[in-house]
Every structure is written in structure tokens, then in C-alpha cells.
């Protein structure tokens, strides 16, 4: 598919020769963990201007020590990029306000989203495009209700699902452990503003190694991809924490096999009762067929097969949740298994296994955090 033409409402597209006299606007990235660095490097290699948002000034010295560059190692080959602009999220007293942000990709952990975005609210307008690239579900709803309750001034939101696997080697150095895809979808109620998103979507689509699919994805399809990944994460992530193992080892524990069945069955019952996945007489035949096909993805056997497939693909990986616990950091458990529990309560579905997993991971994370703090590590 060839890139759509630039319009008066959209900025020049990346690598568009006709726009050489008009500079492309920067894409800001908030959240410089593994996914953020991966996306930043890819966009930079596509000659898209990228601005990295630092949430604390101490990162400046780390950035300098790293040579002001991001390194991504893929297939044992490191690639460095250094053409970035840096901005601090928190301005010092007396500093001039920075201009509005046109395009923002947020890759922070779900539990930190509202706090990370709050200092930027004055720079985010109704013309801002925000893409959420995160695990779990629920953070977008929190952002909408807490930071942008007025629809008339709310930015346009894009949501996504990624299957890329990465882990940190050192500051600003990420290993791209397993290649995947990045699927991007527009929030349904804002589809009339699709033209404003062209530049960001095309920048991602034409950037290397992201394998980004940025058009032609319906709201039901992107929801299905999000829910499927949530179920996969709800099994792999907490079980690697509880059994302190790599992804590929979780099914070597008989208790983990039994627990995974329970987690999947509960998630299946919750998801199949979601209002968005119910057919109605007002829908077209095509819409009904789409929903029925999506529902087939969430029967327990289909979910178990998908979990096993991803376990095999990522068998040598440390899950992101296990990495967080090991570093004494808060996990995303409340936005993964916790989401299943909350939706289960709303829909009248019992989710005892997911509740136990949330409690176990939360306890383990607190113990490691306390040990890390008391040891001064």
C-alpha cells in the first residue's frame, strides 16, 4: 500500500520528497523503557524527528554517559542512533513553557500512566495525537476520566498491541529479543479525526523492524488483539514471578499447569460476557459475523493453544513482570489479572484464581522492594 498524500490538515509524511522544504514535526516518546527505546530507534532510522521526554533531570547525566545515543541489539548486532532531541517533563521555576506536543507515544508502565502524563497536560491539546503502547488494560480509561474529562479538549487517542520482546542490557541499551508486530487502532468514537493521525501512523508503518500495521484494523479487531494479549500475559507473567523461572519453564511445574487452566477459564468467561462482544439485532450481518469469529478466539482451548504458542516462542525470555519484581519495582498486575478481577465483579463472574495471583505477585513485589530498599541496592 502506498502512503496517502499529505493534506492541509496533515504534516508531511516521512521520506516524502515533496515536503523537503517543510520540516516534519517531532514525535515525542514518554517512557524510555525497552519498548520506548525500540520505537525511538526505529523512527530515528526512518529519519523521523524524535524527542525523548525525561521525567527526571538525573537522566541527563546518564544520557551523557551513554554518548547521547540509543543502542538496540538485534541478532547479536548492536545499532546506535543519536539524532534525538531531549526535553524534561518537569520544567525548572522560571523556565519558558515548551510548545504544544503534536504527536506523543506513551510506553510507560500502565500503573504510571496518569502520573507520567499529568505534568504534560498543558502541552496536550485537542490537536494532539497520543498512541498508547502498553501491556494490560484500563490505563486509557483512567487518563480520560482523570486528565481529559472534557471531550471537546481531549486529544485523539490511538491504542495498540505489540508482540515484540525486549529486555534492558544497560541504560539506553535494549536487546530486541524476539521480533513481533505493532498493531495500531483508533478509538472508535474518534474515527472522524483519522486524518490527524496519518503522519504518526505512516511514520510507524514505514520504520524498520517494527512491522507496524496501522490501517484497516476495526475497533473489534484491535479490542480482540488487546484481550488476547492480556490473557497471554495473565498466565505467563505472574507464573514466571511465582515460580521464579523463564517463560519456557512455567509448564514444568504441575501446579502451574493447573493454575494456568483456571486463569484461562476465568478470563474466557469474563471476556465472552463483555458487552462489546455481544451481537445485537441492530448490527449488520458482517458485524455479527466478525463478532462471532472474535468470540471463537476466547474459548478456553483456543486461548490455551495461544498461550502455549507464545511460551514456546519466548521460552528463553524473562517476562517483563519478573524483571520488574527482580528490580524491586511495582508491577502491572492490577492492569492484567486485576483487570480480569474487576471486570468479573462487574459482570458477575467468579475470578478466584486471578485474585490469588494478584495477591501473590503483589506480595512478592513488596517483599523484594523492601529488601532492595533496606539493603540500599
- For residues 74 and 138, state if they share a domain: yes
Local confidence pLDDT in tens for the 377 residues of the chain: 334 444 445 676 666 655 556 789 999 999 999 999 999 999 999 999 999 999 999 999 999 999 999 999 999 999 999 999 999 999 888 888 899 999 999 999 999 999 999 999 999 999 999 999 999 999 999 999 999 999 889 999 999 999 998 889 999 999 998 899 999 997 765 555 778 899 999 999 999 999 999 988 888 899 999 999 999 999 999 999 999 999 999 999 999 999 999 999 999 999 999 999 998 888 888 889 999 999 999 999 999 999 999 999 999 988 999 999 998 889 999 999 999 999 999 999 999 999 999 999 999 988 887 766 776 65
* Residue 116 domain flag: yes
What is the torsion angle, in degrees rounded to the nearest 10, for the CA atoms of residue 334, residue 340, residue 342 and residue 345? Answer: -150
* Residue 178 domain flag: yes
Long-range contacts of 362-366 (CB under 8 A, 24+ apart): 362/331, 362/333, 364/241, 364/242, 364/325, 365/241, 365/324, 365/325, 365/328, 365/329, 365/330, 365/331, 365/333
- Model confidence, pTM: 0.89
* Residue 3 domain flag: no
Q: How many domains does the chain have?
A: 2
Q: Which residue, 182, 217, 252, sits at the end of a domain?
A: 217
Tell me the three state secondary structure of residue 165. strand
- For residues 338 and 293, state if they share a domain: yes
Q: For the chain, how big is the Rg over CA atoms in Å?
A: 21
* Residue 7 domain flag: no
Average pLDDT, the chain: 91
Cβ atoms of residues 161 and 140 within 8 Å? no
CATH of the domain at 147: 3.40.50.720
Q: For residues 234 and 267, what is the distance between their CA atoms, to the nearest angstrom?
A: 9
b or e along 123-153 (b: 16 or more beta carbons within 10 Å of the residue's beta carbon)? Answer: bbeeebbbbbbbbbbbbbeebeeebbeeeee
SS3 content of the chain, % helix, strand, coil (to 5): 50, 15, 35
* Residue 275 domain flag: yes
Give residue 54's domain range. Answer: 17-217
Q: Which residue, 169, 194, 217, sits at the end of a domain?
A: 217
* Residue 297 domain flag: yes
- For residues 192 and 254, state if they share a domain: no
b or e along 240-267 (b: 16 or more beta carbons within 10 Å of the residue's beta carbon)? Answer: bbbbebbbbbbbeeeebeebbebbbebb
* Residue 2 domain flag: no
pLDDT digits (tens, 9 = 90+) for 263-275: 999 999 999 999 9
- For residues 200 and 236, state if they share a domain: no
- For residues 198 and 273, state if they share a domain: no
Cβ atoms of residues 172 and 63 within 8 Å? yes
Q: Which residue, 153, 184, 217, sits at the end of a domain?
A: 217
* Residue 5 domain flag: no
pLDDT reported for residue 8? 42
- For residues 295 and 160, state if they share a domain: no
Measured CA to CA in angstroms, residue 124 lies from 41, 181, 354 at distances of 24, 28, 36
CA 224 to chain CA mean position, Å? 15
Amino acid at each position: 500500500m502506498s502512503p496517502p498524500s499529505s493534506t492541509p490538515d496533515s504534516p508531511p509524511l516521512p521520506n516524502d520528497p515533496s515536503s523537503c522544504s517543510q520540516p516534519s514535526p517531532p514525535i515525542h516518546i514518554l517512557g524510555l523503557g525497552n519498548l520506548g527505546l525500540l520505537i525511538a530507534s526505529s523512527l530515528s532510522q526512518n529519519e523521523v524527528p524524535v524527542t525523548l521526554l525525561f521525567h527526571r533531570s538525573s537522566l541527563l547525566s546518564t544520557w551523557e554517559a551513554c554518548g547521547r545515543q540509543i543502542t538496540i541489539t538485534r541478532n547479536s548486532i548492536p545499532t546506535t542512533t543519536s539524532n534525538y532531541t531531549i526535553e524534561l517533563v518537569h520544567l525548572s521555576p522560571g523556565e519558558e513553557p515548551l510548545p504544544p506536543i503534536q504527536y506523543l507515544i506513551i510506553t510507560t508502565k500502565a500503573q504510571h500512566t496518569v502520573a507520567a502524563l499529568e505534568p504534560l497536560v498543558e502541552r496536550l491539546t485537542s490537536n494532539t495525537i497520543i498512541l498508547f503502547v502498553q501491556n494490560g488494560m484500563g490505563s486509557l480509561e483512567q487518563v480520560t476520566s482523570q486528565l481529559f474529562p472534557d471531550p471537546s479538549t481531549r486529544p485523539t487517542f490511538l491504542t495498540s498491541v505489540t508482540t515484540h520482546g525486549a529486555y534492558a542490557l544497560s541504560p539506553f541499551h535494549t536487546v530486541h529479543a524476539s521480533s513481533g508486530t505493532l498493531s495500531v487502532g483508533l478509538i472508535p468514537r474518534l474515527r472522524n479525526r483519522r486524518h490527524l493521525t496519518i503522519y504518526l501512523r505512516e511514520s510507524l508503518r514505514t520504520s524498520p523492524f517494527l512491522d507496524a500495521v496501522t490501517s484497516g484494523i476495526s475497533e473489534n479487531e484491535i479490542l480482540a488483539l488487546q484481550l488476547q494479549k492480556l490473557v497471554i500475559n495473565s498466565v505467563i507473567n505472574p507464573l514466571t514471578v511465582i515460580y521464579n523461572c523463564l517463560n519456557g519453564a512455567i509448564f514444568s511445574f504441575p501446579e502451574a499447569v493447573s493454575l494456568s487452566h483456571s486463569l484461562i477459564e476465568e478470563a474466557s468467561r469474563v471476556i465472552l460476557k463483555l458487552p462489546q462482544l455481544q451481537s445485537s439485532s441492530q448490527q449488520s450481518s458482517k458485524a455479527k459475523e466478525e463478532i462471532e469469529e472474535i468470540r471463537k478466539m476466547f474459548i478456553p482451548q483456543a486461548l490455551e493453544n495461544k498461550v502455549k504458542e507464545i511460551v514456546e516462542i519466548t521460552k528463553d525470555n524473562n517476562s517483563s513482570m519478573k524483571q520488574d519484581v527482580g528490580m524491586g519495582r511495582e508491577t502491572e498486575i492490577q492492569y492484567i489479572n486485576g483487570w480480569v478481577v474487576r471486570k468479573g465483579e462487574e459482570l458477575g463472574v467468579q475470578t478466584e484464581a486471578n485474585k490469588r495471583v494478584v495477591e501473590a505477585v503483589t506480595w512478592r513485589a513488596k517483599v523484594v522492594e523492601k529488601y532492595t530498599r533496606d539493603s540500599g541496592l
